[in-house]
Amino acid sequence: MPTSGNEALDTANLRPSLWIDGRWTESSDGGTREIVDPSNGSVVVVVDEATPADARDAVTAARRTFDDGAWPATAVSERAALLSTIADLLQRDKEQLAHLETVDTGKTLAESRIDIDDVTSVFRYYAELAAVHSDRLVDVGRPEILSRVVHEPIGVCVMIAPWNYPLLQISWKIAPALAAGCTMVLKPSEVTPLSTIAFAKLVEEAGVPAGVVNLVQGSGAVLGEALTTDPDVDFISFTGGLATGRTILAAAAANVTKVAVELGGKNPHIVFADALVDDDAFANSVDHVLTGVFLHSGQVCSAGTRLIIEESVADRFVAALAERAGHITMGSGLDENSETGPLVSEAQLKKIEGFVELGISEGAELVVGGRRPEDPRLAAGSFFLPTVFDRCDRSMKIVQEETFGPILTVERFTTEEDALRLGNDTNYGLAAGVRTSDSARGERMVRGLRHGTVWLNDFGIYTAAAEWGGFKRSGNGRELGPSGLSEYQEAKHIWHNTSPTAAGWFSTP
Ligand code: TXE
C-alpha cells in the first residue's frame, strides 16, 4: 500500500472500517475508496465503503440497542465516566489522530493538534453537563398533582459530518448524544473518514456498549437516502453545504424526523476606523482579519470572508492585508514550517478557481493571489494562494455566496448604519466580527447583527460551553453548550395525580 512517507502515521488499524453493532466489518459488496493526501495527491490508505444495505444495518443496530432499553437507562454517572475515558484516550492518541487529520484534510499539524484538544474539551464538557439534571417541577396550583418535565434521550441519531473539521464537527454531535443516552450512526465525509474511524476504535476501547455507536462511510449521494428516510431514525444532525442541507430536510419530512443543520456562512468582519487607534492596534486588526479568513485556507464555516471596512482607512488597511497575505507560507501540513496547507481536494480547488473568475467578471479588483502558487514543490497538491478582492459590493455573487476557500472580499462603508446593513445583508447568519474601540458602538453592533456568534474585538474563537449555530440559511438548531445537549433530548411532561378522584365532567346516570 502506498504511504505518505510519514512514520508517525499508522494507518494499519483503519480496516475493516465499518463498525456496525459492535463488529468491525468490510462493505457488504466489497466496495472501497482511496483516501488522498491533498498536499501531494498520493493515496494515503484505502478504506471500506458502505452500501445502502450496510447503512440500513447500522440504523437497525442503533434502533435495537436503543429499544432494548439498557443504554438509555444507564446511570448518568456511568455515561459521564465513559465520556471522560474517551477524552483521556483522545489525549493519549493525540499525535496519531492529528496526523490522520492532517493527511486527510491538508490542514497543518498545529491546527490538527488544536482540533484534537478541542474534541477532548467537548467530551469533558458534556461529561460534566450530563450530571446536571435539567428536569423541573411545575407548580399547577393543586397540591395533589406532582407535575414535572423530564428530559429523555431522543433515540436513534444519524450524524452526517463534513470534511473541514472531520473529528471536531462530529464530536459536537457524538458527545452530547452519548451524554443524553442516545444511540447513533456516524457518517463522516467520504473525503475525510480517517480520524473518525480511529476515534471509533477509542469508543470501543472505552467500553461503550456494542450498537450504541455505529459507523459507516461512503458517499452521501449513495448512503443519504438510507440514512435520512429510515423511519427508525429519530434525529438527523447534519453539518455541510446548503444544497445538501435542503435535500436532507426534504428527505426527512416524509417521516417528520427532527433535523438540525449547520450550513456554513458568509461572515462579515467589520472594522471601524476607531479600532485602529495606534500602530499596534492597526497591526493587530490586520492580523485578525488575515487569520479570520485564511486559516485552514478559508475552509471554515465561520471564516471572515467579507471585510467590511470604514472608507477612511480602507486603502491603507487593504494594502497591509495584501502584503501579509502574500507572505503566508504554504506547504504540506506535515511540514512544521507550513502556515497553511492545500484545499481539501482538487474538486474544491476547481470550485475556488471558478469563484475567482466570477469575481473578476463581476468587476471586483483582484489585489493579491487569485491563482495556484508557482512553487513547483506544490504543483501536485491542491494549493491556492490567499486571495483578496477589493472594491466589492453586495450585488456581487462573490460577496453573497459561500466560497469555502481562501478568498476575501472587501466592501467599504462610511456610517455605522451602513456597516450594520452590510453586515446583515446576507442570506447566511452564522458568525460576524466587529472591531471598534467605542464600546457603546460595539454593543449596538453586536446586538444588531443577525448571526449566531458575534465577536467584538476578537475573531474565530469558540468554547464548548457556548452555543454554536446559525440564523437564517446558516441553519437551525444549536450545537455545544446546554442547547447542544437539549437537541438530543425529548422533553416529557409527567402529570402524577397522587390523590385521584372522578373526572366529574359528565353527569353520572
Ligand atoms: O458538502 P456536502 P460538499 C459547504 C461549502 C462547500 C459546499 C459543498 O460551501 O463548498 O458546502 O461541499 C454528505 N444525503 N460546506 O459538497 O455535500 C457528504 O457525504 C445525506 C460548509 O463537500 O454538504 C458529507 O458527509 N448526506 C460546511 C456531508 O454531507 C449527504 C462544511 C457534507 O457534504 C448527501 C463543508 C445526501 N444527499 C462544506 N449528500 C460547514 N457548514 O462547515 C452529501 N452528503
Q: Is 221 in the pocket of ligand 1 (CB under 6 A)?
A: yes
For residue 142, how many other CB atoms are within 10 A of its CB? Answer: 11
Question: Given this model, what pLDDT does residue 29 score?
Answer: 98
Q: Percent of the chain having pLDDT more than 70? A: 98
Question: Given this model, what pLDDT does residue 4 score?
Answer: 42
Q: Which residues touch 76 (CB under 8 Å, ≥6 apart)? A: 130, 131, 133
pLDDT digits (tens, 9 = 90+) for 445-461: 999 999 999 999 999 99
C-alpha cell at 281: 492596534
Question: Given this model, what pLDDT does residue 11 score?
Answer: 83
Residue type, 391: R
Cβ–Cβ < 8 Å for 144, 134 = no
Q: Is 264 in the pocket of ligand 1 (CB under 6 A)?
A: yes
Nearest to 55 by CA among 204, 264, 216, 165: 216
Cα–Cα distance measured from residue 170 to residue 398, given in angstroms and rounded to the nearest whole number: 29
**Alpha helices per DSSP H over 188-241:** 194-206, 220-228
Cβ–Cβ < 8 Å for 271, 285 = yes
Q: Is the pLDDT of residue 2 over 70?
A: no
Cα–Cα distance measured from residue 30 to residue 309, given in angstroms and rounded to the nearest whole number: 54
Cα–Cα distance measured from residue 24 to residue 14, given in angstroms and rounded to the nearest whole number: 10
Per-residue pLDDT band for 9 (boundaries 50, 70, 90) equals: confident
| Residue 18 Cα to chain centre, angstroms | 22
**Alpha helices per DSSP H over 270-330:** 279-294, 311-325
How far does the centroid of ligand 1 lie from the alpha carbon of residue 241, in Å? Answer: 4
Question: Given this model, what pLDDT does residue 8 score?
Answer: 60
For residue 195, how many other CB atoms are within 10 A of its CB? Answer: 30
Strand partners of residue 497:
145
Q: Tell me the CA distances in angstroms from 416 to 73, 186, 272, 274, 444, one per residue in order.
A: 54, 45, 8, 11, 9
CA angle 341, 344, 166 (to 5 degrees): 100
Cα–Cα distance measured from residue 82 to residue 62, given in angstroms and rounded to the nearest whole number: 18
Q: Is 265 in the pocket of ligand 1 (CB under 6 A)?
A: no
Nearest to 485 by CA among 202, 174, 208: 174
Q: Is the pLDDT of residue 376 over 50?
A: yes
How far does the centroid of ligand 1 lie from the alpha carbon of residue 240, in Å? Answer: 4
Question: Given this model, what pLDDT does residue 203 score?
Answer: 98
Does residue 262 carry a catalytic annotation? yes
Per-residue pLDDT band for 5 (boundaries 50, 70, 90) equals: very low
Question: Given this model, what pLDDT does residue 12 score?
Answer: 79
Average pLDDT, rounded, for the chain = 96
Q: Percent of the chain having pLDDT more than 90? A: 96
What average pLDDT does the segment 368-388 reach?
Answer: 97
| Residue 92 Cα to chain centre, angstroms | 23
| Residue 337 Cα to chain centre, angstroms | 26
Q: Is 160 in the pocket of ligand 1 (CB under 6 A)?
A: yes
Residue 140 has φ and ψ, to the nearest 5°, of -95, 5
Question: Given this model, what pLDDT does residue 132 score?
Answer: 84
Torsional class of 502: left (φ above 0), alpha (ψ -120 to 50), beta (otherwise): beta
Residue type, 427: N
Strand partners of residue 489:
153
Is the C-alpha dihedral spanning 474, 477, 483, 487 positive or negative? negative
Q: Tell me the CA distances in angstroms from 366 to 86, 107, 412, one per residue in order.
A: 47, 25, 15
Helix (H) or strand (E) holding 158: strand 156-160
Residue type, 56: R
C-alpha cell at 251: 428527505
Please pick, among 49, 101, 262, 402, the residue that the annotation labels catalytic. 262
Q: Is 262 in the pocket of ligand 1 (CB under 6 A)?
A: yes
Residue type, 267: N
Cis status of the peptide bond prior to 16, with omega within 30 of 0: yes
- Can you tell me which residue has the cell 504511504? 3
Please pick, among 182, 301, 479, 487, the residue that the annotation labels catalytic. 301
Q: Whose CA is nearest to atom 14 of ligand 1?
A: 224
Residue 183 has φ and ψ, to the nearest 5°, of -110, 165
Q: Which residues touch 198 (CB under 8 Å, ≥6 apart)? A: 13, 14, 93, 96, 97, 100
How far does the centroid of ligand 1 lie from the alpha carbon of residue 297, in Å? Answer: 17
Query: Checking DSSP bridges between strand 23-25 and strand 18-20, what pairing results, if any?
Result: antiparallel
Does residue 392 carry a catalytic annotation? no
pLDDT digits (tens, 9 = 90+) for 395-425: 999 999 999 999 999 999 999 999 999 999 9
Best of 225, 244, 263 for a ligand 1 pocket test (most atoms within 8 Å of beta carbon): 244
Q: Is 189 in the pocket of ligand 1 (CB under 6 A)?
A: yes
**Alpha helices per DSSP H over 7-75:** 52-68
Cβ–Cβ < 8 Å for 85, 207 = yes
Cα–Cα distance measured from residue 392 to residue 355, given in angstroms and rounded to the nearest whole number: 13
**Alpha helices per DSSP H over 326-375:** 346-361
Strand partners of residue 388:
368, 408
pLDDT digits (tens, 9 = 90+) for 28-81: 999 999 999 999 999 999 999 999 999 999 999 999 999 999 999 999 999 999
Q: Is 224 in the pocket of ligand 1 (CB under 6 A)?
A: yes
pLDDT digits (tens, 9 = 90+) for 120-149: 999 999 999 988 877 999 999 999 999 999
C-alpha cell at 462: 469558540
Burial of 143 from C-beta contacts in 10 A (0-12 / 13-18 / 19+): exposed
